[in-house]
A and B are shown apart, each in its own frame.
Chain A
Amino acid sequence: MGIGMTGQERFEQLIASDEKVEPTDWMPEGYRKTLIRQIAQHAHSEIIGMQPEGNWITRAPTLRRKAILMAKVQDEAGHGLYLYSAAETLGVGRDELVEHLHSGRHKYSSIFNYPTLTWADIGAIGWLVDGAAITNQVMLTRCSYGPYARAMVRICREESFHQRQGFEIMLTLCRGTPEQKQMAQDALNRWWWPALMMFGPHDTDSTHTQQSMAWKIKRVSNDDLRQQFVDMTVPQAEYLGLTIPDPELKWNPERGHYDFGEIDWDEFWRVVKGFGPESRDRLAHKVRAWEEGAWVREAAAAYAAKHRKEAA
């Protein structure tokens, strides 16, 4: 710390000079709470996000696809664990984070409250949902909080496989029978708008965005990220020969971007408030798995205690 500098001054200097804030640094209480909330929500999303895809592991069409899907779902578990560890550097306990998820005080991304109805949904999720996640997470590698940024670097290295395997599923279906191609189109129809919703409300309606941008937790606005995602994805859909379900989607040569239609914000807020098609089942399943696994955690703790005593 510079001579005579207060914690607050030092924090502001770190942010201004684009240096990372580390766990032992003084930080404003608001910064800490915002980060705990955001990192925890991110961690919970990775964990709950295993369910829609896990749903198809036993029904993957080939052994190759099954091995790939298991690896992807295992990665998402890993992402959840990196992120819980990052949140814990802010002083919050793992038990507390899990309790907040289970009680509903902490939310997770709405996207995981939609059902996976066909195998093509697994393709659409990898391509669109992981694609949207990458757009967001690449930005977060530059987040001002060191442990979060480092977790993001690790995660981004793994996400690219997720998106590519999803696109490959879509490509295989699109090159298959007319029925298979229709399956892919149907999945795109159902996942397109929820994927765009992942970027959150418009910048003008996003109350906390400004503070997060000032703290450099967040470095690109919701609308800019969403535009990036649309611009990146439209040509990929064209390559697949699929139609994006938006009549207003059109290249705008003046802006150098695609114009696109308005999100159904009523649906958006309905799902955020916990009334998504799968909201209740996802959380109930998570709580049940936690409770049914209690004996494993207790047995492991008892085993460790016994061996500690023997060693003493």
Chain B
Amino acid sequence: MTYEVPRTADEKDLDYRQDGRSQWPMWEVFVRQKRGLSHVHAGSLHAPDADTALQMARDVYTRRVEGISIWVVRSDQVVASDPDEADAFFEAAAKPYRQATYYRIPDEVGQM
């Protein structure tokens, strides 16, 4: 496949350190595409500080005016829910009576 280099007989399987080390911290980039829309996660990048992160985010994620506003947040500042607890945490999904389609309205009533 295009960018994948076929294995040669002498290729060694690498063990990756998994320490995630990088000279500069990582930042998450959020871009607002246009007025009236929310900032949406676009990706991440490494930068030494917030000002540089903003400039880099502009170059990496908005080369074609994909945005009119950017937020950057240090990745280690993001607090995430536990994926292993997702079922218990999001049990609201099991309450169908919170959905509009749960309620049967006779056709004669029309659009509701």
Interface residues of A in 196-210 (CB under 8 A from B): 198-201, 206-208
Indicate whether A27 reaches chain B with its CB closer than 8 angstroms.
no
Given contacts A74-B59, A95-B23, 9 further A-B contacts (CB under 8 A): A33-B14, A81-B45, A82-B60, A91-B20, A96-B17, A136-B1, A303-B48, A304-B49, A304-B52
Q: Main SS of chain A's interface residues? A: helix
**Residues in B neighbouring A2, C-beta threshold 8 A:** 87
Number of B residues with CB within 8 Å of any CB on chain A: 37
A105 sits at the interface (CB 8 A): yes
Query: If A41-B4, A208-B7 touch, does A85 touch B45 (CB 8 Å cutoff)?
Result: yes
Q: Does B77 count as interface, using CB distance less than 8 angstroms?
A: no
Cβ contacts under 8 Å, A78 to chain B: 59-60, 63
CB A212 to nearest CB in B, in angstroms, measures 8
**Which chain B residues lie closer than 8 Å to A106 at the CB level?**
14
Interface contact B8-A45, CB-CB below 8 Å:
no
- Asked if A33 contacts B1 (CB within 8 A), the reply is no
Q: Nearest CB to that of A80 among chain B residues?
A: B60
Q: Is the C-beta of B44 less than 8 angstroms from some C-beta in chain A?
A: yes
Residues on the B chain within 8 Å of A139, using CB: 1
Of the residues A45, A85, A93, contact of B17 by C-beta under 8 Å = A93
Residues of B within 8 A of A (CB): 1-8, 12-14, 16-24, 26, 43-46, 48-49, 52, 59-60, 63-64, 80, 83-84, 86-87
Specify which of B3, B16, B44, B52 is in contact with A92 (CB 8 Å cutoff). B16
B64 smallest CB distance to A (angstroms): 8
> Which listed residue (B6, B49, B84, B86) contacts A303, Cβ 8 A?
B49
Encode contact with B along A88-129: 1 for CB under 8 Å, 0 otherwise: 100111111000100001111110000000000000000000
Name the residue among B4, B8, B45 with the largest chain A CB count within 10 angstroms.
Answer: B4
Q: Is A68 at the interface (CB under 8 A from chain B)?
A: no
Question: Does A257 sit within 8 A of B, measured CB to CB?
Answer: no
Answer yes or no: A175 CB below 8 A from chain B CBs: no
Say if the beta carbon of A244 comes within 8 Å of chain B.
Answer: no
Q: Smallest distance from the beta carbon of A52 to chain B beta carbons, Å?
A: 15
Interface residues of A in 161-213 (CB under 8 A from B): 198-201, 206-208
Interface flag for A225 (CB, 8 Å): yes
Could you give 20 example pairs across A and B, Cβ below 8 Å?
Answer: A24-B80, A25-B83, A71-B63, A91-B18, A92-B18, A100-B14, A110-B5, A132-B2, A136-B2, A136-B3, A137-B2, A139-B1, A154-B43, A158-B64, A200-B1, A206-B6, A269-B8, A273-B8, A301-B23, A303-B49
Chain B residue nearest to A301 in the complex (CB): B48
B23 touches A297 (CB 8 A): yes
Q: Which residues from chain B contact A85 at a C-beta distance below 8 Å? A: 43-45
